[in-house]
Amino acid sequence: MAVGRSDGAWHGVPEGTQPLGGATPTLLALAAHVGELVLAVAPDGCITALLGGAGTAFGTERVGSSIFEHCHPGDVEHVRAFARAGLATAPGWEGIGAVRLRVASGEWRFHDVHALNCLDDPAIRGFVVTVRESADAPVAPGVERELESLAGAVPLPILLLDPTGSVRFANDAARDLCHDAIARLDDEGLAGIADLRDRSRVEQALESVRDAGGEVTTSFRLLPPRPSAAERVVEATFAVRGERGGRGAVPVTVVTLVDVSAHHARVSELRRIASCDPLTGLLNRVEIEEALADRLGTAPERVALLYCDLDGFKAVNDTHGHDVGDELLVAIAQVLESKTRPGDLVGRLGGDEFAVLVDSADPSDAHGLACRIAVAIAELSAYRRLPVSASVGAAAARRGDSTRDLLRRADAAMYDEKRRRRAGAGARS
């Protein structure tokens, strides 16, 4: 049923009658018994005609008023957003939603709303909106305040997001957790408080739960209040509440947050410990080999490996003790890291052997780096007055190389360098 006026005639009503304002007594009597309320609403929200609505607080004097005036204050912004979305659609579009309207008793009750785009109908030139009281229990403002008060007492951070992703409600625990970014939470929604690197993850989780329903859990880093602030990580669980696809559905997304920063820090530290050499802090052999295998599988043309072995290190341990030897290994690790570039990886293979995974498409880069490392270690040894030098071999990857193949060739190149240096020392003596 659609109502509206065009050139003095009413669409859907017998000629010679007018609903409501100038309606016949019979039509008025019938309208009083119609449970559904049918409105003709202009694009600016003005009610141009109405029919039915027994039990609601609507009456004939509502014609000419704005539909937003009759909505619960807490729902006005959401109804405006719904209206803006409808105006952007083509004629024939249908939309569903829910809104609280005052009933004859004075209570606010949820009503299912169905809107039909009739902008192309000369008798309507707007939207036909059908309103029916929802089967859900009424939620009066006082009850809503009690529910919000109860949520505020819950220690678990809870957020309610509207269909646009804006935060409709945040309890005290959520605001305490996000206090540094609370303005962003209010202005930009949940993604606004996420670290820039994780915002797409938050948006994907929201999109996924709205499309498929159920629950989606993901973790993300909170936007730090300053660059030097400790990293904070939360685990967020998303769930849509409201009958999906039903008339009057209110797709509110409930988000619960758990601060997992301490757990995340412990896991990161355990990973670091598992992947690093405990003495030097460099990557251990397992991590270097895994990184090497990964790079060989993705871009072997950019892979080269240096194999570094210390000459004379055993004598340092025997003469000066293992404490001095350990200090020297730490210093050599620092030298290796200082000589490499972003993208290169340095690891300790064990004992006095080190490896450098070089990221470069030019094989000469690896040989040049090998020479610089050997010179830097010789300078360090002279400064510490310790009889240590380094033999460094370089090998560029070939297509089809395995990790073992490249390690073997780099090791062989290192022994070739060791023999060359010993032969040169023998010739000089």
Instruction: Give ranges for CATH 3.30.70.270 in the chain.
Output: 276-428
The per-residue pLDDT for 422 is: 83
Whether the predicted pLDDT of 39 surpasses 90: no
- Region 370-382: mean pLDDT is 93
The per-residue pLDDT for 328 is: 94
Q: Residue 249: is it exposed, middle or buried by C-beta count within 10 angstroms (0-12/13-18/19+)?
A: middle
The per-residue pLDDT for 357 is: 94
Lowest mean pLDDT among 19-23, 207-211, 269-273: 19-23
The per-residue pLDDT for 6 is: 32
Residue pLDDT, tens place only, 102-121: 777 777 777 888 899 999 99
Structure tokens at 97: 């939603």
Residue pLDDT, tens place only, 406-428: 999 999 999 999 998 887 766 55
Closest among 282, 270, 418 to 349, alpha carbons compared: 282
Its CATH class, for the domain covering 141-266, is alpha beta
The per-residue pLDDT for 22 is: 42
Instruction: Give ranges for CATH 3.30.450.20 in the chain.
Output: 5-133, 141-266
Q: Which CATH superfamily is domain 5-133 in?
A: PAS domain (3.30.450.20)
Closest among 243, 240, 229 to 207, alpha carbons compared: 240
Q: Are strands 108-118 and 94-102 parallel, antiparallel or unpaired?
A: antiparallel
- Region 41-64: mean pLDDT is 75
Residue 353 pLDDT level (bands cut at 50, 70, 90):
very high
The per-residue pLDDT for 57 is: 56
Q: Which CATH superfamily is domain 276-428 in?
A: Reverse transcriptase/Diguanylate cyclase domain (3.30.70.270)
The per-residue pLDDT for 3 is: 33
- Region 123-151: mean pLDDT is 65
pTM above 0.75, yes or no: no
% of the chain exceeding 70 in pLDDT: 81
